[in-house]
Structure 1
Amino acid sequence: MYSYVPPIDDYRFLLSEVLGFDQAMAELNKDVDADLAVTVLDEAGRMCAERLAPLNREGDEHGSQLIDGAVRTPPGFAQAYRDFADAGWAALSADPDHGGQGLPFILQLWLDEMLSAANLSFGLFPGLTRGACEAIAAHASEELKATYLSRMVSGEWTGAMALTESSAGTDLALLKTKAEPQDDGSYAVTGTKIFISSGDHDFGGNIVHLVLARLPDAPAGVKGISLFLVPKFLPGADGAFDQRNSMSVGALEKKMGIHAQPTCVMNYDGATGWLVGEAHRGLAAMFTMMNAERLMVGIQGLGIAGAAYQQAAGYAKERLQGRSADNARAPVAIIEHADVRRMLLNIRSFVEAGRALAGWTALQHDRSQHHADAGERARSDALVPLLTPVVKASFTDFGFESAVQAQQVFGGHGYIREWGMEQYVRDARIAQIYEGTNGVQAADLVGRKLPMAGGAVVEGYFALIAADVEAAGGSVIARSTSTALEALRTATAALQGADTDAAGAAAVDYLRLFALVSMGWMWTRMAQAAAQGNSPLHQAKLKLADYFALRVLPQAQGLAATIAAGEASIMALEIDAF
């Protein structure tokens, strides 16, 4: 395998020439410029490449294990996590009021990309903890915040979220876990949860579970769900958290991928917990965590795609096979074959556009939190939830497709363990499923996000794209993006007010169309910036923009036609005929 190379030059290009990072930070009164940001990313990339990537394959082969009721992560993981936390990476973007560094969210998302590229199983530990911190900070009592937040932000303690039960996955209204009030103000939580990532480990410190459960007087359905903070360790008489709570790992899930990540069946047997937020409003509190996690999961797809591309491109430049187009006798590197180039360019044109779109979304997140103007905060605050299902679903779909194409470049060598490509395929697959399957994300986009503010939010987003496309003039990528945007606008108008079947039939294709237009927009911006320079990076950007315009964006017309076909052919077949 080739060594992982963090995409620092690309980050520098995006910060300095495409996304207007310095101006954005000045508007937010943040004392961070592109040079400092690149320095932080460079150091983070070194840690990912030198410390975490070497653990990836061994972690996959060894896996986490359940021994005498305790989880043991693969060799090297526990120490690597402690080093990660001690170096401050767990606190990178967290609120300084809770011990965080308060650095821009764009650095967090791009750190997540490098973590996912280097070692996806490892990256879930800090990622889930960060999401738990956000939910606690937004909804918990001041006492719970004071007790738990600073130690979680620092990485001393970790977090996990416990939603899913065997009969309650996407439909959380079916969950059965109970919480009984106790005289001291705590609750006794009883039930079994499945698929709990980072549910237990051997890193040391506490593990803080956020558990959905029902109170005795809870109404039926999702309106009867409450959220509880349930730690692995409780404080003893001396205040030290050394008393084991009544919770245990029943089993580790046997999974297709992310073998190093302990995905637990968790049993709560009257475990002591505390209410987070209001009774019966736990789903709203949990979605604070889930929305943060959905962006992180999208970045996982991006990270795997980038890592798989690096391996495939390196192999393609060295692997001799076949003859060149001029029928020369000597075998040539397979990078000279058009079909191999097609696969590599498909991956790279997604990765670089996805990286830019992730950065733009992260800047909107910071604007929604810190901009001085309330109107600007509100506009950005609407754009982030609009893009969250798009990033989660499209990045993980394209990420999995990219891993498969990278594996295909290797031929038979991609199917065996030696080169690590089959691990990328297995690991990437889960990202399309957890934190809400991609079909659920598409339904959310069509059913909940398009109608926001009577359609004004999505139309405002389209206006941003149209303005940049018009400013770019008649470039190939600008023309192609403009055509695709018109198809997207037509599809959007058709779906406004669509009934359940019509929306469900169109949703997945609509989300992909939305993502392609968004990436076309990013390529338009990158091409316009690249036209001002003449470095190899700038020249490559221009060629990649043309490739995306001519070979990828035309998919928009097929997707538009599929959406326009409606639901009739999907719903026509009788159920008994399946």
Structure 2
Amino acid sequence: MPYRAPLRDFTFLLDHVVAFDQVRQTDRFSEATPETTKAILTEAGKLCEEVLAPLQRVGDQHPARLENGVVCTSPGFGAAFAAIADGGWLGMTADPEYGGLGLPQTLATAVNDMMSAACLSLQLAPLMTQGQIEALEHHADDTLKARFLPKLNSGEWCGTMNLTEPQAGSDVGALRTKAEPNADGSYAISGQKIYISWGDNDFTDNVCHLVLARLPDGAPGTRGISLFMVPKFIPDADGNSGARNGLRVVSLEHKLGLHGSPTVVMEYDRATGWLVGAPHQGMAAMFTMMNNARVGVGVQGIGVAEGAYQHALGFARDRKQGKTPVTGSGAIVEHADVRRALSVMKAEIFAMRAIALANSVAIDMARATGSDEWTARAALLTPITKAHGTDIGCEVASAGMQVHGGMGFIEETGAAQYLRDVRVTTIYEGTNGIQAMDLVGRKMMDSGEAAFRMLQDVEDCAESARALLPDLAENVWQAAESLREATEWLVAQDMQDRFAGATAYLRAFARILGAHYHLKAAMAEDGPRRALARIFITRVLPEHIGLLAQARAGASALYALSDEDLAA
């Protein structure tokens, strides 16, 4: 079954579930009219269906490779990236002053969802560039903006993010890469970085690396880290790619999946770089890129879930096994348990897509209005989007393999690739455990106020649905009230007890938000929308009860087992 862009779902969600109209009503995004939105989604869908999707298997079967220090990408990837660039998709949300389109993040989220479903290995390249564009817009000086942003927006150049080192993973403050001042105001960057997605390619004129490094007077830990722009080729006087810089690709990682996406080890040997932002403030600048990427990675999980679901549905319609209760055709899609699996997969995707789009609406509203409440809501939803979006990507991809039966374990069907490709999304851009800790830690520093405002919206919606859908509304209202009580308990605890239940708490929050958006959909449209909402609210939402019990269990029992006990 070829990939089909779910345009109707996006339109329905924007119009009836996540209140995209309020974004259109702002001065900043007034040009994102329904007609413009339809045109953007239609063209993006066509690109994904016709250009990207045919490369899904190509990237897996013909991986990127390193030959004589040059990264050779999968066949067709260069032409597809050029099509992405020519369509203006790289700079969708970027400042028009530097060649961007200035569109809402919400529309970019929808496009990235479709691209991820079509070919995740390739979609990673524009995602990295988009994050770099945002970091430069917020933190670079005017000279750097003028030098790099037009080329990044046009796709002539692409961008990467260089944080991790062999001894410095989640503990970024342990990095050893050095930055020494040069006489001309630039810096000499020396060190090694690992896990660099799309660290090189053979189809753009330049690769621009944002690199975290420490100045000679940089304090230990994250407070002494600065951010630098270090391109593969140093721009000449005309702004074009000039002399080769002092950096190289050491090797490519051999990975479980994402074979079409080169993940490289980078070495910098007194490479020329320029400071981005203030000295010793590199983490603040990099977090701009990381927060953009965290929403984007959550969307990758949703996109892969969509691709895996469509793949499984096509197989289930064609595969004949035994007698079936509906038409007797023997197609396994008619068997109750297969129908359950497919229905839950579809319901999960709808719920998570709604959360990601609501997150993006909050980002857009914060940018357009400067409202602290919208800013807080966007921050609250970001770890939920990243962690639960990628968890659902893995779970739906696994369910898709199960629908295939034994053929799911056979590579030629392509079912296993979705699971192999999406698995890393729960790890990179901050592991999902770190996202959960961020939710119950940093995002609850307001004593839970942003969470309580969100829960009030959920309960208000449930109250308004009681006349039309009393049983579903009651289930959602009760779940929201349980989460409110758990949140009140949580913010009264010390961090260790919060962290011990963080993963369960985040998942429970996502379950209740998903039910909320399904309820809104059911209120807006009868028929399949209402049937799908019933599946989620009756079959998936009840999970929150056990999750909230785990969230409140505390840390003491975990540490009652010593290291020796764990090893016994």
Q: Shorter-chain TM-score: what band?
A: over 0.9
Contact residue 180 and residue 189 of structure 1 kept, 8 A: yes
Determine if contact 2:23/2:364 at 8 Å carries over to the other structure. Answer: no
Q: How many Å apart are 1:473 and its aligned residue?
A: 1.5
Whether 2:453 is the aligned partner of 1:460: answer yes
1:237, 1:26 → 2: CA distance? 43
1: distance between equivalents of 2:197 and 2:325? Answer: 50
The structural deviation recorded for 1:23 is: 4.6
Q: Secondary structure at the match of 1:249?
A: strand
- Which residue of 553, 558, 564 maps to 1:565? 553
Q: Deviations over 1:35-67 (max 9, x none)?
A: 321221011011001001101101111110001
- Trace 1:26-175 onto structure 2 (pairs within 5 A): 26-28=25-27, 30-175=30-175
Displacement of 1:390 in angstroms is 0.3
Contact 2:155 2:204 in 1 (8 A): no
Distance, in Å, in 1 between the alignment partners of 2:146 and 2:379 is 29
CA distance in 1, matches of 2:522, 2:45: 26
Partner of 2:278: 278
Q: Is the 8 Å Cα contact of residues 141 and 277 (structure 1) preserved in structure 2?
A: yes
Partners of 1:12 and 1:34 within 8 A in 2: no
Q: Structure 1, residues 255-279: CA drift from partner, whole Å, max 9, x if none?
A: 0010000100000000000111111
Letter in 1 for 2:340: R
Q: Does 1:479 align with 2:477?
A: no
Q: Secondary structure at the match of 2:380?
A: helix
2: CA distance, partners of 1:112 / 1:318 = 29
CA offsets 1:486-522 (integer angstroms, 9 cap, x no match)? 1211211111142233112100000000100111111
User: Does the residue aligned with 1:268 lie in a helix, a strand or coil?
Assistant: strand
Is the contact made by 2:505 and 2:547 (CA closer than 8 Å) also made in structure 1? yes
- Structure 1 residue 333 and structure 2 residue 331: aligned? yes
**Cα distance 1:204–1:24, how it changes in 2: closer, same or farther (>3 A)?**
closer
1:492 aligns with 2:487: yes
Distance 1:239 1:404, change over 3 A: closer
Distance in 2 (CA, whole Å) between partners of 1:497 and 1:200 is 47
Residues 339-362 of structure 1 deviation map (CA, whole Å, 9 limit, x = unaligned)? 111211121101111222222221
2: CA distance, partners of 1:234 / 1:23:
43
TM-superposition CA deviations, 1:360-419 (whole Å, max 9, x none): 221111111113xx5xx2211111111000000001001100000011000011111222
State the match for 1:423 in structure 2: 417
1:325 Cα deviation after fit = 5.2
Q: For 1:343 and 1:287, how far apart are their aligned partners in 2?
A: 38
Match of 2:3 in 1: 4
How far off its partner does 1:331 sit? 6.3
Cα shift at 1:204: 2.4
State the shift of 1:322 in Å: 2.5
Cα separation, partners in 2 of 1:519 and 1:238, compared to 1, 3 Å: closer
CA shift, 1:101, in A, is: 1.0
- Distance of 1:238 and 1:353 partners within structure 2: 49
- CA deviation map 1:43-94 (0-9, x unaligned): 1011001001101101111110001101010011111111221121212222
Aligned 8 A contact 1:131 1:292 in 2: yes
Q: Would you say the 8 A contact 1:477–1:520 is kept in 2?
A: no
* Matches of 2:218 and 2:19, distance apart in 1: 49
Taking the aligned partners of 2:449 and 2:340, their CA distance within structure 1 comes to: 38
**Given the superposition, is the C-alpha separation of residues 278 and 53 from structure 1 closer, same or farther in structure 2, using an over 3 Å criterion?**
same
Tell me by how many angstroms 1:480 deviates.
1.6
**Structure 1 runs not aligned, ≥5 long:** 532-538
Distance (Å, rounded) in 1 between the aligned partners of 2:340 and 2:387:
23
**Cα RMSD, aligned residues only:** 1.5
2:356 corresponds to 1:358: yes
Partner of 1:510: 505
Aligned-partner SS, 1:27: coil
Offset from partner CA, 1:515-555 (integer Å, 9 cap, x none): 00111111111111014xxxxxxx11100101111100000
CA distance in 2: counterparts of 1:141 and 1:240, whole angstroms:
19
The aligned counterpart of 2:531 is 543
Report how far residue 285 of structure 1 moved: 0.6
Match of 1:501 in 2: 496
Q: Distance in 2 between matches of 1:421 and 1:155?
A: 31
What percent identity do the matched residue pairs reach?
Answer: 45
1: CA distance between counterparts of 2:501 and 2:204? 47
Whole-angstrom CA distance in 2 between matches of 1:21 and 1:291: 21
TM-score by structure 1 length? 0.95
Q: CA deviation at 1:238?
A: 6.0
Q: Say whether the 8 Å CA contact 2:522–2:530 is kept in structure 1.
A: yes
CA distance in structure 1 between the aligned counterparts of 2:345 and 2:562, rounded to whole angstroms? 39
Which of the numbers 387, 403, 426 marks the counterpart of 1:409? 403
User: Post-superposition shift, 1:237?
Assistant: 5.9
Report how many residues are paired: 563
Q: Distance in 1 between matches of 2:238 and 2:544?
A: 63
Match for 2:6: what amino acid? Answer: P
Report the 3-state secondary structure (helix = DSSP H, G, I; strand = E; otherwise coil) of the residue aligned with 1:90.
coil
Structure 1 position 563, deviation (Å): 2.0
Residue 27 of structure 1: CA displacement? 3.4
Is contact 1:22–1:32 with CA below 8 Å preserved after alignment?
no
Q: Name the SS of the counterpart of 1:161 in structure 2.
A: strand
Could you tell me which residue of structure 1 aligns to residue 383 of structure 2?
389
Rounded to whole Å, the distance in 1 between the matches of 2:235 and 2:487 is: 54
CA contact (8 A) 1:16 1:34 kept: no
Provide TM-score, normalisation by structure 2: 0.97
2:225–2:280 contact (8 Å) kept in structure 1: yes
Residue 217 in structure 1 maps to residue 237 in structure 2: no
